[in-house]
Structure 1
């Protein structure tokens, strides 16, 4: 039965993942009473089925790949990975899929938590169906923030239920490596899970509809990852798609896949890493004039543009601005500041790089692909610059020429690229591919968001011998070209 009177808060946040928690943290810190609504585990996708478990699987894989090429360590790391130990580490990093620690933090921050499925029920109204079968009504004085994230999108193949496919959730929480694993998809999830499970003992077949891996990155990034996956034993195929897929054998223990080129491949499990869809199908969007299942479009203040007034916000994956946990948390900080300012009756500062504008969603989205080698990128690629009509200089450098890279791994293979805006003479894009390059990314992000003049970068002296010396070499290459 629904509660007779609604509980009133200043702010209601639907979704207690990293994004929702950060919105609630910022609004609570601003003195606004805030409640989080969560239907699954507090901490969300990132903590239990995405960032944390996937990197726990990949860290020993990448560390072993580096160590195996360092003189004096080859023999020490020559044995296969201890799969049970890796999976146990993954379980610890996922808190054994228990959210007690997250709930404790929420309470310590002064935020209320309501367990159950939250749905919009009109302007500033939310209805929560609890696990006990009750309905809790909530009302917001100032704002409702939808932070429900995204889920794996499966292709429209017949017999999907009987196929029992993996999505990213099963790929990061599997209790054992399958002997044979087919992965469909050339993006980040596909290549990371291919890297992890191939190293953990699976025989991986990676199917890419495109002519290359990581199609949203610079081409050399996908080429280097392809090279290393094949060296590790993975079967990487391009320009193919799945026509049919079904289970055969006693108990359906084998997956049989027919490809667009007519070939048939078999495996024990199949992972579809073919994109994401918004978790907005059953959250009451129709009660505020929106279409269930749609992405929620916002302006730079994270306010939903299709709903009158300034009370509804969409933060994180559900708005499709930038599908990264760190970018969603950035949006959460902006949204929290916007909600607090409006609650105080203050005028928003929505200029470029202002406190109330998520400019980085457009100008400087950083991302790391934790493969061997690592891929780190921020800002524009050459393809994106051309599409946007931006006049840029493209500067490349072979990272393997650096003394710091050779110290890191004697057979270092990697490449760096920066894009310089010809008119403004600032960096607008950077891509690094190679072991250990993830730690180069923040410097590139600062250069772009700070709009540091290229001539000023000459005075940012990199330590020797480190991989960060690539910045100096890029500047020299540009000067001498």
Structure 2
């Protein structure tokens, strides 16, 4: 067989590179509009979120948070003082990842009429993707209307002496490990670092958390990181801020970490949670005059700047590295691609179907530690840096009746950042048990630019934690 005979060619309306939640949602929208759609995936259909991020991490954390809630309740606390059943927790995690098999996700793609192409996909010219399958056979997929890059991100490892021999964990190993290491060093102070420190400490590891900066969760209000750090310390985690890692090695199976101050820390495993990079280094960007390995700038329809056919959706455009925001972008991109394919105008409408405006100022996030930290919009510092005339209003969540019902020793805090010119909310942050389910109300207020005068008439149910809204508004009115 000649090389030419070893290449199959197919033409579709849309080619989607990457079959994670973002790529799946783009395909869902374009197929719903009647566009033939190919989806290319080199790993598991369902992507990072389904197998190595959102789902397994939250499956690990849910028993930890439930136990923490129970331990604060008189009448129940005495019954839950023992350790978690680590094997049962890991088995439940495996269930939520479908044991790292994607049959169900493949079935879903088939149900919407999208064609799946297994293998590594690369751009090989305008509107063209070449897929090299596991068997070495190549397929050339040509898109009539659009190619959507939905390839996500990968973990970044620092350039440290000895790192290769250590075989460190990244977020993937941290969420898929088959047993709890006796001693675990976690390097980083962000979401992955704090969540995995929370999980593995509760599952039996002795965790040391090394943070180069002054505190945790530095993209949120400072009190969020402070409350999470306090709780981690009380749970037994050795939290060390202002600590850099200078070198790592593995000696007879033991990881040896040397810090910037010369301290030597020994562990069984080490997790680096030190950032993400776009998975654009080997997808053929050079064939269309763009730089491999870079983030891709897009407009609000998720079309790559300077192109009329290329879209970059989800993490690769660096707008908001969150699954729910990527899926939101995918719905916008799918609608925009479909409209342009039909010749219809792409413009704002009552649903905002063609413009990803939420990425600019109303991005919600929940950190599933104990206590949870949840935020949407701008922090006080971000609002001030952006030039707004603002006021922060704080309230102790423990003073809310509904929070007290969660148990003894409830600790939490709420803040809303008010634009004093328009009297709307620019940002809201909650920290405390149970606040993850509270953040959507704040998202509606921020995204909808609801005037404070109207929020006053959104009456919270009693006794729930949501009564904090009343207390925040009272504090704003009375001071």
CA-CA distance at 1:442 after TM superposition: 0.5
CA-CA distance at 1:159 after TM superposition: 2.7
Q: What's 1:416 paired with?
A: 414
Of residues 87, 92, 95 in structure 1, which corresponds to 2:90?
Answer: 87
Q: What's 1:445 paired with?
A: 443
Of residues 247, 250, 260 in structure 2, which corresponds to 1:247?
Answer: 250
Whether the aligned pair in 1 keeps the contact of 2:16 and 2:39 (CA below 8 Å) is yes
1:11 and 2:14 correspond: yes
CA RMSD of aligned residues (A): 1.1
Of residues 463, 469, 472 in structure 2, which corresponds to 1:471?
Answer: 469
CA-CA distance at 1:27 after TM superposition: 0.6
1:32 and 2:35 correspond: yes
Q: What's 2:279 paired with?
A: 279
TM-score by length of 2: 0.98
Q: What's 1:368 paired with?
A: 366
Inter-partner Cα distance in structure 2 for 1:351 and 1:261: 57
SS of equivalent to 2:239? strand
The list of structure 1 runs, each at least 4 consecutive aligned residues, that deviate by more than 4 angstroms after superposition, is 1-5, 350-353
Alignment of 1:283-362 (within 5 A): 283-305=283-305, 307-308=306-307, 310-350=308-348, 354-362=352-360
Q: What's 1:266 paired with?
A: 266
Cα deviation, 1:41-81, whole Å, max 9, x if unaligned, reads: 00000000000000000000000001011010012211110
Aligned pairs, how many? 476
Whether the aligned pair in 2 keeps the contact of 1:304 and 1:312 (CA below 8 Å) is yes
Inter-partner Cα distance in structure 1 for 2:153 and 2:8: 32
CA-CA distance at 1:424 after TM superposition: 1.1
SS of equivalent to 1:75? helix
SS of equivalent to 2:184? strand
Q: What's 1:190 paired with?
A: 193
CA-CA distance at 1:347 after TM superposition: 1.8
The 1:60–1:4 alpha-carbon spacing in structure 2 relative to 1, beyond 3 Å, is closer
Inter-partner Cα distance in structure 1 for 2:452 and 2:328: 26
The 1:258–1:351 alpha-carbon spacing in structure 2 relative to 1, beyond 3 Å, is farther
Alignment of 1:69-218 (within 5 A): 69-218=72-221
CA-CA distance at 1:158 after TM superposition: 2.5
Inter-partner Cα distance in structure 1 for 2:189 and 2:8: 50
Whether the aligned pair in 1 keeps the contact of 2:72 and 2:406 (CA below 8 Å) is no
Whether the aligned pair in 2 keeps the contact of 1:301 and 1:350 (CA below 8 Å) is no
1:63 and 2:66 correspond: yes
CA-CA distance at 1:297 after TM superposition: 1.1
Inter-partner Cα distance in structure 1 for 2:76 and 2:8: 67
Inter-partner Cα distance in structure 2 for 1:275 and 1:414: 27
SS of equivalent to 1:47? helix
Whether the aligned pair in 1 keeps the contact of 2:415 and 2:428 (CA below 8 Å) is yes
Q: Structure 1: where are the runs of 5+ without partners? A: none
Inter-partner Cα distance in structure 2 for 1:470 and 1:21: 37
Cα deviation, 1:164-218, whole Å, max 9, x if unaligned, reads: 0000000000000000000000000000000000000100000001101111110
Whether the aligned pair in 2 keeps the contact of 1:118 and 1:126 (CA below 8 Å) is yes
1:427 and 2:425 correspond: yes
Q: What's 1:403 paired with?
A: 401
Whether the aligned pair in 2 keeps the contact of 1:353 and 1:359 (CA below 8 Å) is no
CA-CA distance at 1:410 after TM superposition: 2.3
CA-CA distance at 1:161 after TM superposition: 1.8
Whether the aligned pair in 2 keeps the contact of 1:351 and 1:357 (CA below 8 Å) is no
Inter-partner Cα distance in structure 1 for 2:343 and 2:295: 29
Whether the aligned pair in 2 keeps the contact of 1:352 and 1:359 (CA below 8 Å) is no
Whether the aligned pair in 2 keeps the contact of 1:152 and 1:273 (CA below 8 Å) is yes
Whether the aligned pair in 1 keeps the contact of 2:8 and 2:138 (CA below 8 Å) is no
The 1:351–1:429 alpha-carbon spacing in structure 2 relative to 1, beyond 3 Å, is farther
Inter-partner Cα distance in structure 2 for 1:301 and 1:106: 24
Inter-partner Cα distance in structure 2 for 1:40 and 1:213: 32
Whether the aligned pair in 1 keeps the contact of 2:255 and 2:267 (CA below 8 Å) is yes
Inter-partner Cα distance in structure 2 for 1:5 and 1:44: 26
Whether the aligned pair in 1 keeps the contact of 2:7 and 2:138 (CA below 8 Å) is no
Inter-partner Cα distance in structure 1 for 2:83 and 2:456: 44
Whether the aligned pair in 1 keeps the contact of 2:7 and 2:137 (CA below 8 Å) is no
CA-CA distance at 1:383 after TM superposition: 1.3
Inter-partner Cα distance in structure 1 for 2:373 and 2:7: 54
Cα deviation, 1:136-157, whole Å, max 9, x if unaligned, reads: 0000000000000001000011
CA-CA distance at 1:160 after TM superposition: 2.1
Q: What's 1:230 paired with?
A: 233
Whether the aligned pair in 1 keeps the contact of 2:162 and 2:247 (CA below 8 Å) is no
Inter-partner Cα distance in structure 2 for 1:237 and 1:158: 21
Q: Structure 2: where are the runs of 5+ without partners? A: none
Inter-partner Cα distance in structure 2 for 1:46 and 1:350: 30
Inter-partner Cα distance in structure 1 for 2:129 and 2:178: 37
